[in-house]
Amino acid sequence: MRLSPRLAFGVGWRGASSLPALKRNDISREKIDLVLITHFHGDHFGGLPFLMLDAQFTRRTRPLVIAGPQGIERRLEQVMEALFENSSKRERRFDLRIVELNPEAPARFGAVGVMPFPVVHGDSGGPFLGYRIEVEGRIIFAAIFTTKLLGATRSDSIISRFIAPEIT
């Protein structure tokens, strides 16, 4: 499925490898309007400082929204400071909005509708969210799953990384 070029989604910003992958595939970071974070494990959240610095140094002008579980604003500041001291306190050249999402509370970001829902994914790095995303008349389910995905059969697309529980 091809989404509008002005809409891009990150279910998680997979560590520092995401930015080089976007560049390698000639995907404009300037056109990313919304990043959705599922949880705070490093491989899904740790690359945000690199995206933020790239936006600053490439003179991004478009607003950026980063949305995710409760605590995302505090966690983003912590990881920014851990990796690049004082970076979270610098004035940005672009508008940044950080939105904390609650399970089962719908949110709208322009033409994009998001319904967060809780998922189970370990004991640390939470809270954990999956997303039902509606854009351009299509429904996308996106999550890290260790539980049954309900309602996805009525989706146009499913983005998932499935982690099966240990079988004994």
Select from 76, 38, 39, 31 the least CA-distant residue to 55.
31
| Candidates 26, 33, 43, 156; catalytic one | 43
Reply yes or no on whether 123 is catalytic.
Answer: no
Residues 6+ apart with CB under 8 A from 79: 45, 46, 48, 49
**Cα-based distances in Å from 150 to 56, 124, 131, 143, 158:** 39, 24, 12, 12, 11
Within 13 Å and on the Cβ side, how many CA atoms surround 46?
A: 10
Is beta strand 107-109 parallel, antiparallel or unpaired with respect to 112-118?
antiparallel
Select from 13, 30, 19, 121 the least CA-distant residue to 75.
13
Positions marked active-site: 43
